[in-house]
């Protein structure tokens, strides 16, 4: 989609509101089809935000080259399927090890910290360590979508185990996907978390109360996390 002076809303203006409300970082997902954000918007974010820019991206040559020109503070490598509405699961680091190895080295050489968006399994944690990732972002979608208490507890145990294992390997542990103002109480039960990446729920809430209030309300729900 080409840039347009009439395009709305302006992500830079919204990022500024979120930062003033207390957001600790700004995350944007640059997809191959540019459905979420445009290259120029990311360049403007890089120039204007005062916190931290986290670039979510697939491991494709064009996007990697763009990231190396942009030099965000962090990159989170995610799986990408053109047919999906949103990211549907974690990146399989074992299957993609060969392709990811070179990308991690290039990003590190540029001074960019690298995160891997993964399902909460021991095998994926171990693969992240082998790839020399700095961060893992645990996919919380199955916990968020659990439709029985039994499944909820199973997913919670998987997340707890993965977070502990990652911490033991000195990886920073983040979490994201499907987190909202209700189920964030469950996220408090996962140890060692440093950051949460929450998008859709805040945007949906902002329609009713505005971005500043929506961000402040979510930050209030994060308070008293004991890790």
Would you call 220 exposed, middle or buried from its count of C-beta atoms within 10 A (0-12, 13-18, 19+)? exposed
The C-alpha atoms of residue 46 and residue 73 are separated, in whole angstroms, by 9
- Verify whether residue 56 is a known catalytic residue: yes
Cα separation of 165 and 169, whole Å?
7
| CB distance 56 to 37 below 8 Å | no
Q: Which of 19, 137, 177, 195 is catalytic?
A: 177
Q: Does the annotation mark 177 as catalytic?
A: yes
Q: Cα 42 to chain center, whole Å?
A: 15
Span between the terminal Cα atoms of the chain, in Å = 42
Q: Rounded CA gap, 137 and 49, in Å?
A: 22
Please confirm, yes or no, whether 88 is among the known catalytic residues. no
Distances (CA, A) of 75 to 18, 173, 177: 20, 14, 16
Query: Which sequence positions are flagged as catalytic?
Result: 29, 56, 177
């Amino acid at each position: 989609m080409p840039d347009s002076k009439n395009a709305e809303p302006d992500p830079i203006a919204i990022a500024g509101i979120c930062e003033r409300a207390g957001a600790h970082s700004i995350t944007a997902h640059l997809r191959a089809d540019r459905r979420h954000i445009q290259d120029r918007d990311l360049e403007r974010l890089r120039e204007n935000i005062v916190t931290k820019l986290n670039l979510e991206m697939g491991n494709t040559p064009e996007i990697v080259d763009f990231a190396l020109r942009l030099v965000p503070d962090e990159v989170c490598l995610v799986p990408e399927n053109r047919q999906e509405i949103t990211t549907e699961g974690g990146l399989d680091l074992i299957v993609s090890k060969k392709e990811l190895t070179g990308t991690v080295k290039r990003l590190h050489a540029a001074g960019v910290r690298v995160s891997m968006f993964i399902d909460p399994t021991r095998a994926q944690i171990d693969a992240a360590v082998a790839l020399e990732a700095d961060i893992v972002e645990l996919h919380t979608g199955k916990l968020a979508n659990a439709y029985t208490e039994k499944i909820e507890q199973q997913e919670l145990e998987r997340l707890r185990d993965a977070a502990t294992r990652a911490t033991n390997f000195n990886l920073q542990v983040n979490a994201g996907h499907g987190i909202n103002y209700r189920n964030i109480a469950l996220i408090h039960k996962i140890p060692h978390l440093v950051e949460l990446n929450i998008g859709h729920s805040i945007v949906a809430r902002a329609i009713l109360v505005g971005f500043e209030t929506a961000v402040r309300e979510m930050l209030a729900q994060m308070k008293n996390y004991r890790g």
